[in-house]
Chains A and B, each alone.
Chain A
């Protein structure tokens, strides 16, 4: 479970470039909820994700994960509780490392190996088991450098890595935005499957309104640093992409970025 209360984020405070990114955001994501988040550029959705991951420290407010106040925890300390997938497939993996080394690195997130060998007994078998699920043949290429893989393959590997170990919370940061439509669909379906099997709590930032309604259990929309719309249950089931657009136009938001997807 993720609980944000009164989160206020200001970039470059006290300068000419001062920019209030979040104006007191309260948001609770219950255990096991898959929450897509939409909003125009600069609305605050990615900032919110970064506040949860620990990349951005709020000026005011509190971040709780599973009942623990992590507001002042650095990124690497939160990694035990939260994993994330980056937008850029190149960011989520080390391209000079083999697939197995990347998996070992991700596995060490919840089970650090210290001065024991990074590739311990049984890790190879575990990696094979988990990669088989992707049906991409990566389980036969464990010693290949990740730099040899395509963007979609790397994003799929990132998903396997982010869901390795005991991490219960997954942050998806426009993780299909850099992929072609077919690959994006594959990665989205894979995300849905892994999240369902492992019953993870997920926040997914997306620019695609279709994805925001098709995937997950609830949809929220950010606008100018606040949560503008929070849809779940029947209201969400009846909402369409056109409906969303109409809704946003009524609120005076005429931003092309919202209409994409």
Chain B
């Protein structure tokens, strides 16, 4: 028996459980994040458009949505997880497993994504929006042709941060009978006192985070035309993105 690697860890590798865990973690994370954007992106847009300085201020709607978003965001994830299981039961007929986890992750991530989108869109220069209005653009055209394209690099940075947050949440899938690296770390590592299993799971998650982070930032940088390419400033530009990571 190997002294450094526990037999359980060895088994997990041999039976491909670790690799399956990686696959499920990625699947849970991306599916939930994409679905959260389906709801969170329009919600973030509505928050901007109906805001005080927005294209079409509707104070009551803005305040109500803002309140709901904040209320959801104030749930610690583990509490939200158990509290919304009935919703999962109602929607997909089950309150455990990966399916339920995806429903809960979407519920948790949507308000988060909405705020991310809102803050990205807020960065768009109001003067540019004003210019578009002066050209006779409709509100829909301004959202579609000004807000979203102008904020694209920032939206991508936001998506990276959101994805990584969801990845962290997905580690709790084990709590409701779901799978993934987090579940493996808890059931095989924590509950059987095998620290090496935990560390291997963490290491794989760290690699996934790093890939999402670096890949996302690369895309954001490529898409951003605000700062002169191939100049001294491109170094400064990199550092701007680095700061955004945390």
- A, B: real partners: no
Task: Point out residues on A near B: beta carbons under 8 Å.
Answer: none
B residues sitting closer than 8 Å to A (CB atoms) are: none
